[in-house]
Amino acid sequence: MLEIKKVGIAGAGAMGLGIAQVFAQNNFGVVLYDSADKQIEKAKKEIEKNLDVAVSKGKLTANAKADTLQRIHFSTSISSLVADLIIEAIVEKLEPKQSLLQTIAAQNSEETILTSNTSSIPITRIAKGIVNPSRIAGLHFFNPAHLMKLVEVIAAAETSSETIQTLSALVLKIGKTPVVCKDSPGFIVNRVARHYYVESLKALEEKTATQENIDALMESAGFKLGPFKLMDMVGNDINFAVTSSLFDSFHQDPKFRPSRIQQQKVDAGHLGQKTGKGFYDYNSTL
């Protein structure tokens, strides 16, 4: 079984920076890459902010925070992504993911494990054209990655059992819970959970109830967050992209139809908590 010592992460958005923090806190050397200087600077600040919260709650010492930050190398040079394990965490679109992983594969050993943090695109499609597809898999963390325990470990058509075993053991080593699943659009969680969003949006479109009432109803039934609060937390752009991806992957099955209301939110830049406005206004209290 391959020993993972160094991890490279492509994409310093919300998921990439959270994954980088998790590995760095667990004594792995990390390279966090993004092509945009602005995103790298934002990632640095967000990781430090997350660590400061952990220190304030007594879950992390000041020395451990400093050590964690020292283990992360921030880079805007794709050539720096040379590691034992690569995790791609960029935009939820097939072509950019394929292109990026092909570039990264060319500069790494054929033994380097290549993974995608995609939440909806089949890994077999992403792996197409890459040498030694047996070492390619899905490694899907959930937002926020530094807090959520579940990680889906996805086996593509040619992924070896050794790769899956290595990744599952690694997930346990960083204090997470691995769930191994087969390659299918949305895998387990996003396929099951998609209708939590889609049906709620349909009810809103049909004016069956307000978003506040739908959220209150679902929370009273035991869900920690109502669907509209959850979409705002994840980001309406991300949530809409995943729904659109599943809709296409299932050949426009109507049960996965993206919502016109959510598309309008995305078009208006009302993405949720990260922009201050989504289905709710975060410039005031909920």
pLDDT tens per residue, range 95-148: 999 999 999 999 999 999 999 999 999 999 999 999 999 999 999 999 899 999
Which is catalytic among the residues 46, 88, 92, 152? 152
Task: Mark whether 95 and 30 lie in a shared domain.
Answer: yes
Residue 87: pLDDT over 80: yes
**Cβ contacts of residue 91 below 8 Å, gap of 6+?**
11, 97, 241
pLDDT digits (tens, 9 = 90+) for 180-221: 999 999 999 999 999 999 999 999 999 999 999 999 999 999
Is residue 285 in some structural domain? no
Mean pLDDT of all residues in 2-27:
96
Task: Mark whether 105 and 170 lie in a shared domain.
Answer: yes
Is 119 a catalytic site residue?
Answer: yes
Is residue 275 in some structural domain? no
Is 140 a catalytic site residue?
Answer: yes
Instruction: Tell me the average pLDDT of the chain.
Output: 95
Q: Which of 182, 200, 227 is the last residue of a domain?
A: 182
Which is catalytic among the residues 50, 119, 244, 245? 119
Is 152 a catalytic site residue?
Answer: yes
Q: In CATH, what number is assigned to the domain containing residue 159?
A: 3.40.50.720
Q: Compute the distance between CA of residue 202 and CA of residue 208 in angstroms, rounded to an integer.
A: 9
Range of the domain at 232: 190-268
pLDDT digits (tens, 9 = 90+) for 136-180: 999 999 989 999 999 999 999 999 999 999 999 999 999 999 999
Task: Mark whether 18 and 139 lie in a shared domain.
Answer: yes
Which is catalytic among the residues 140, 239, 245, 270? 140
Task: Mark whether 86 and 150 lie in a shared domain.
Answer: yes
Is residue 282 in some structural domain? no
Task: Mark whether 111 and 168 lie in a shared domain.
Answer: yes
**Cβ contacts of residue 36 below 8 Å, gap of 6+?**
12, 76
Residue 286: pLDDT over 60: no
Residue 2: pLDDT over 80: no
Task: Mark whether 159 and 237 lie in a shared domain.
Answer: no
Q: How many domains is the chain built from?
A: 2
